[in-house]
Amino acid sequence: MQRFSSIYCLFKKNEYFIRHSFCTNHLIKFYHNMKTLSNTWFTEGYIDFELKKYTLLAYLQEVNKYFDENKLYPQLADLIFHYNNIKGFQENKQYLQQSFPKQLTQLNLERLQIVYEEMIQDNDLMQEMENIIYFALDQLKQSIDGGAELYDMVEESIQINPVGLVPIDTSEGYMLLNSGDNKEINVYGYRVSLFEKKEEPYRSLKTVYLSKFQKKIHITYEQIKHTLINTFKELPNPAVFYIETPLMYPLAETLLPVAKRSLIRYISQVA
């Protein structure tokens, strides 16, 4: 991690690197600024199906706008979290505490527990909450499927290739990213970490933006690699991969996160 930080510091010194439709529409417009949902949105305030329905639809309308613009993150991850959160509440409140210790605060967990216990004692409340849950799961799943379809399309268009020989240690190196007719090649330093998650090994890839190069005939990926080696001497024999797609996608919201996941799998196969 110290070497990775020093790469970033070194780069800073090299400046040349550069219910009714009418009612529904009006209620959704009322919530049009709702771009996020709280972790316990379905249990907060008055437990009313219609209220929660329009709250969710307004949120999903905003999410789907991003998908229509080919923007995946953080919306897709947010959808999956809310789906799992509600599914966990439906199955067992303890499941939430075990699965989402970082996302849910103690206050949120206590709120869910109170509502869960109230549901058991109140048949009407239980029925209302069940209606909310079934509706929310169905709507969230539809939006997740839409995001997953976009994700698959981006992933299938991506091509990953090594620049030169691949060293034995591929846990740290550089990722060169380019899409469509974009004349810029974005350069990122990456580092792979391995940790345990639910008793399973899990790889995480962190990146830091370093530079960009203009895509020209006389500027090859090999030349970029040599420039990086000469600039960041902490990695004399780095793993370097270039990732390309013929299609244009938003860099931060789509291409970069999909490329990172794809690179993890690629490295796992060649390591």
Q: Of 3-7, 70-74, 221-225, 246-250, give the lowest mean pLDDT range.
A: 3-7
The DSSP call for residue 236 is S
- Does the structure show a pLDDT above 60 at 29? no
Decide which of 154 and 95 is more confident. 154
Note the pLDDT tens digit of each residue in 158-193.
999 999 999 999 999 999 999 988 889 999 999 998
172, β-bridge pairs: 191
Average pLDDT, the chain: 80
Q: What is the pLDDT of residue 216?
A: 83
Q: What is the pLDDT of residue 165?
A: 93
Q: Please tell me the distance from the alpha carbon of residue 93 to that of residue 85, in angstroms, as a whole number.
A: 10
Q: To which residue do tokens 């780069």 refer? A: 11
Note the pLDDT tens digit of each residue in 33-59.
446 898 889 888 888 999 999 999 999
Q: Of 7-16, 111-120, 157-166, 245-254, give the lowest mean pLDDT range.
A: 7-16
Question: What DSSP string runs through 21-78?
Answer: HHHHHHHHHHTTT-----TTTTTSSS--HHHHHHHHHHHHHHHHHHHHTT--TTHHHH
Reported pTM: 0.74
167 in helix, strand or coil? coil
Q: What is the pLDDT of residue 268?
A: 86
Instruction: Identify which of 76, 55, 58 has the alpha carbon closest to the alpha carbon of residue 66.
Output: 76
Q: Which residues contact 96 (CB under 8 A, 6 or more apart)?
A: 85, 88, 89, 104, 109, 112
Q: What is the pLDDT of residue 6?
A: 36
Mean pLDDT of the region 58-68: 95
Q: How far is Cα of residue 104 from the mean position of the Cα atoms in its chain?
A: 18
Q: Which residues contact 70 (CB under 8 A, 6 or more apart)?
A: 150, 154, 249, 250, 254
Q: What is the pLDDT of residue 78?
A: 95
Q: What is the pLDDT of residue 4?
A: 38
Q: What is the pLDDT of residue 77?
A: 94
Instruction: Identify which of 78, 37, 74 has the alpha carbon closest to the alpha carbon of residue 55.
Output: 37
| Strands across the sheet containing 200-214 | 159-162, 239-245, 172-179, 184-197, 200-214
